């Protein structure tokens, strides 16, 4: 639905428009074709013409609906159009996002969309934690589009590394409902003082919370509100929701059995409620030969982005993440003494574009309906299918019931969560193995695993490389530190013996044991001395004639 004296509905559309019908520059159309986008999503179809007209817009659409392309495509189109008459290079577009990961994601989309016009449209991401002086040189070139978090942008504005009063034409704030919850209210108010009196503004959000309404009053002027009347998640024909009753002691065994028996296939995100649980689960799965990576809010943004990139590129098929309350509302949560401060510009469950995720696995059930929606939104993005499977203990059952009631109202259906058919007694062998492996992952092991990862990041840190070059002894002391405690790996756990596989799955499950092809040459023994002499004579063309005559 489009409000502000304009109405439209998905049902009234006779036929979805193509990107060509949106009258975009040929260079953008070529880039879109290369990305494999056949037609615009509904929010893209409605947003692109309005942005090109110069209207202020508030976009409310669910995660995975294509919001990023909805505001980046028209922004690039406007810049290309203005380039025909404007010769002077200036910053024309400013995109603000609450986290470094989102900034990188938006910047990557812009790079993909400008692949055919990279000389004409320049974009930079200034959110990474690098010295302002290094980025000052990039800003001095006056790129057409700047992407940043509020805090980093304000630092550059105060340092006078960029001036927007005379040049800025378009301001875009992505994930607007998270901007204030990440504690950026004061930064946004300060940033507005550095902007022109008149400019086009666009807010993109998954929800219309009170924070978004407040931000709307600060930024927008007589906006068009694009609000898609749709469920907060993909339709049930595209996204399946399953739940499985499991006590805390059995969750690890169930997860292990599902992974080792190949009942969970494709890229998978496993959600837990704390960072410690992330590492405990990672160390547990390592004992069974299951490789995973962890997204840790305590590590630098570069490390986290690298983990997401490795996951998207297929280096890992499984990623373990948490969405703690302290990450959702950092301005409210108090940091305890002795605890490492988490990066407030990091939030895993919202916004980050994990590509082609087949499954979301809730090892710990989310604390509320919003967390469930944000987690489930990582899969079934665009037109891809996905599955959400949640393990639910007795303690978590009331939360599940509340979530189901809310989702039934959103989907307007009677039955939403299906029961996942799984009999724990049929995998009793996994249960015994998992029980011992889970106990082996102690608090000390978890703590030292986290220290080991932080130490590795110190070694990889670009900023410290020059320091270590000047102080090699410090590097040696760091590298030659005592061996960190790790969980003792037992090789037999990596294999799945036939006797613990349920009879019903023996024909269906490929346990990874491939039959070796019979190689006759490999099995034959070495030739004897007589055979070697005969073969040598046979390979000699003169002697072979004599051999043939003898055979006759």
| 72 and 202 belong to one structural domain | yes
Q: What stretches of 160-274 adopt beta strand conformation (E)?
A: 170-173, 200-205, 224-227, 239-245, 268-272
Tell me the two tokens of residue 543.
């002697």
Crossing angle between the packed helical segments 26-35 and 100-113, to the nearest 10 degrees: 120
Kindly state the DSSP code that residue 232 receives in the 8-state scheme. Answer: S
What is the per-residue DSSP string for 473-489? HHHHHHHTSPPPP-PPP
Contact of 228 with 406, CB cutoff 8 Å: no
Which mean pLDDT values do the consecutive 10-residue runs of the chain (552 residues) have?
Answer: 42 65 96 94 94 96 87 98 89 95 94 97 93 93 97 96 96 92 91 97 89 93 87 88 94 94 94 93 93 82 77 88 53 40 50 83 94 90 90 96 92 90 86 91 91 77 64 60 54 72 68 48 60 68 54 52
Tell me the two tokens of residue 315.
């280096």
> What is the C-alpha R_g of the chain?
29
What is the per-residue DSSP string for 409-443? HHHT-S--PEEP---GGGGHHHHHHHHHHHHHS-H
Asked which of 450, 470, 493 is the last residue of a domain, the reply is 493
pLDDT value of residue 352:
66
- What strands lie across the sheet with 386-392, from one edge to the other? 293-294, 318-322, 268-272, 359-362, 386-392, 239-245, 418-419
Asked which of 194, 227, 260 is the last residue of a domain, the reply is 227
Residue 2 lies in a domain: no
The model's pTM is 0.69
| 188 and 265 belong to one structural domain | no
Residue 511 lies in a domain: no
pLDDT value of residue 457:
74
Say how many CA atoms lie within 13 Å of 134 toward its Cβ.
9
Which residues contact residue 172 at a Cβ distance below 8 angstroms, ignoring those fewer than 6 apart?
71, 75, 93, 94, 95, 96, 201, 202, 203, 204
Where residue 245 sits, what CATH number does that domain have? 3.40.50.300
Asked which of 452, 468, 493 is the last residue of a domain, the reply is 493
| 56 and 146 belong to one structural domain | yes
Residue 472 lies in a domain: no
| 186 and 301 belong to one structural domain | no
Closest CA to 2 of 172, 225, 210, 205: 225
Which residues contact residue 377 at a Cβ distance below 8 angstroms, ignoring those fewer than 6 apart?
62, 63, 64, 206, 232, 233, 349, 350
| 50 and 149 belong to one structural domain | yes
| 243 and 221 belong to one structural domain | no
Kindly state the DSSP code that residue 64 receives in the 8-state scheme. Answer: T
| 402 and 260 belong to one structural domain | yes
pLDDT value of residue 325:
42
3-state class percentages of the chain: helix first, strand second, coil last, to nearest 5: 45, 10, 45
d(CA 361, CA 310): 19
- Residue 321's SS3 state is strand
| 48 and 139 belong to one structural domain | yes
Q: Is 215 left (phi over 0), alpha (psi -120 to 50) or beta?
A: alpha
Tell me the two tokens of residue 435.
């029980």
455-468: per-residue pLDDT in tens? 777 776 655 666 66
Contact of 147 with 156, CB cutoff 8 Å: no
| 165 and 243 belong to one structural domain | no
Q: What is the 3-state secondary structure (H, E, C) of 114-179?
A: CCCCCCCCCEEECCCCCCHHHHHHHHHCCCCEEEECHHHHHHHHHCCCCCCCCCCCEEEECCHHHH
| 208 and 263 belong to one structural domain | no
d(CA 552, CA 549): 5
d(CA 323, CA 341): 15
d(CA 430, CA 397): 25
d(CA 291, CA 303): 18
Residue 96 lies in a domain: yes
Cβ atoms within 10 A of the Cβ of 147, count? 29
Residue 234 lies in a domain: no
d(CA 169, CA 195): 9
* Burial tier of 408 (Cβ tally within 10 Å: 0-12, 13-18, 19+): middle
Contact of 446 with 280, CB cutoff 8 Å: yes
pLDDT value of residue 463:
59
pLDDT value of residue 382:
76
* Phi and psi torsions of 393, nearest 5°: -85, 170
Residue 247 lies in a domain: yes
| 298 and 222 belong to one structural domain | no
Cβ atoms within 10 A of the Cβ of 94, count? 24
- Residue 544's SS3 state is helix
Tokens 């948490």 sit on residue: 322
Q: In the chain, how many domains are there?
A: 2
pLDDT value of residue 314:
85
Residue 102 lies in a domain: yes
Kindly state the DSSP code that residue 530 receives in the 8-state scheme. Answer: H
| 90 and 180 belong to one structural domain | yes
479-521: per-residue pLDDT in tens? 444 434 456 667 667 777 776 777 777 666 654 454 445 455 5
Residue 463 lies in a domain: no
d(CA 213, CA 194): 22
Q: Taking the alpha carbons of 343, 349, 351, 354 in that order, is the dihedral positive or negative?
A: positive
- Residue 514's SS3 state is coil
Which residue segment(s) compose the domain that 156 sits in?
19-79+86-227
């Amino acid at each position: 639905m489009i409000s502000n004296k304009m109405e439209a509905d998905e049902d009234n559309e006779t036929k979805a428009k193509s990107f060509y019908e949106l009258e975009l520059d040929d260079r953008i159309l070529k880039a879109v074709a290369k990305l494999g986008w056949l037609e615009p999503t509904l929010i893209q179809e409605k947003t692109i013409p309005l942005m090109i007209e110069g209207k202020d817009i508030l976009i409310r659409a669910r995660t995975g609906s294509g919001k990023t392309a909805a505001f980046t495509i028209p922004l690039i189109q406007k810049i290309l159009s203005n380039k025909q008459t404007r010769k002077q290079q200036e910053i024309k577009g400013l995109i603000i996002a609450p986290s470094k990961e989102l900034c990188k994601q938006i910047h990557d989309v812009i790079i993909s969309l400008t692949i055919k016009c990279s000389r004409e449209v320049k974009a930079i991401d200034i959110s990474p934690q690098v010295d302002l002086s290094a980025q000052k040189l990039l800003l001095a070139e006056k790129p057409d589009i700047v992407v940043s978090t509020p805090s980093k942008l304000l630092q550059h504005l105060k340092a006078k590394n960029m001036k927007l009063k005379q040049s800025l034409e378009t301001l875009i704030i992505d994930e607007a409902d998270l901007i204030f919850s990440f504690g950026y209210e004061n930064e946004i108010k300060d940033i507005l003082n550095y902007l022109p009196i008149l400019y086009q503004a666009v807010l993109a959000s998954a929800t219309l919370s009170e924070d978004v309404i407040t931000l709307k009053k600060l930024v927008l002027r007589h906006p068009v509100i694009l609000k898609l009347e749709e469920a907060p998640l993909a339709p049930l024909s595209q996204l399946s929701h399953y739940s499985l009753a499991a006590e805390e002691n059995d969750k690890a065994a169930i997860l292990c059995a599902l992974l080792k028996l190949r009942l969970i296939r494709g890229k998978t995100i496993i959600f837990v409620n704390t960072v410690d649980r992330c590492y405990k689960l990672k160390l547990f799965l390592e004992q069974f030969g299951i490789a995973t990576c962890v997204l840790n809010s305590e590590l630098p943004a570069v490390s986290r982005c690298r983990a997401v990139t490795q996951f998207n590129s297929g280096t890992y098929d499984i990623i373990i993440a948490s969405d703690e309350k302290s990450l959702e509302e950092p301005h409210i949560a108090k940091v305890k003494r002795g605890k490492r401060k988490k990066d407030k510009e990091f939030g895993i469950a919202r916004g980050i574009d994990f590509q082609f995720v087949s499954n979301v696995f809730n090892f710990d059930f989310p604390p509320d309906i919003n967390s469930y929606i944000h987690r489930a939104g990582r899969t079934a993005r665009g037109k891809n299918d996905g599955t959400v499977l949640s393990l639910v203990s007795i303690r978590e059952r009331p939360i599940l019931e509340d979530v189901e009631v809310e989702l039934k109202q959103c989907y307007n259906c009677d039955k939403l969560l299906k029961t996942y058919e799984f009999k724990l007694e049929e995998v009793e062998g996994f249960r015994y193995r998992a029980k011992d492996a889970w106990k082996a992952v102690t608090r000390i092991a978890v703590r030292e695993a986290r220290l080991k990862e932080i130490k590795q990041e110190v070694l990889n840190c670009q900023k410290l490389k020059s320091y270590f070059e000047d102080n090699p002894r410090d590097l040696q002391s760091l590298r030659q530190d005592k061996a960190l405690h790790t969980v003792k790996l037992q090789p037999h756990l990596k294999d799945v013996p036939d006797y613990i596989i349920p009879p019903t799955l023996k024909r269906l499950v490929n346990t990874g044991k491939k039959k070796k092809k019979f190689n006759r040459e490999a099995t034959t023994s070495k030739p004897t001395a007589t055979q070697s002499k005969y073969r040598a004579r046979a390979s000699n063309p003169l002697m072979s004639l004599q051999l043939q005559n003898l055979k006759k």
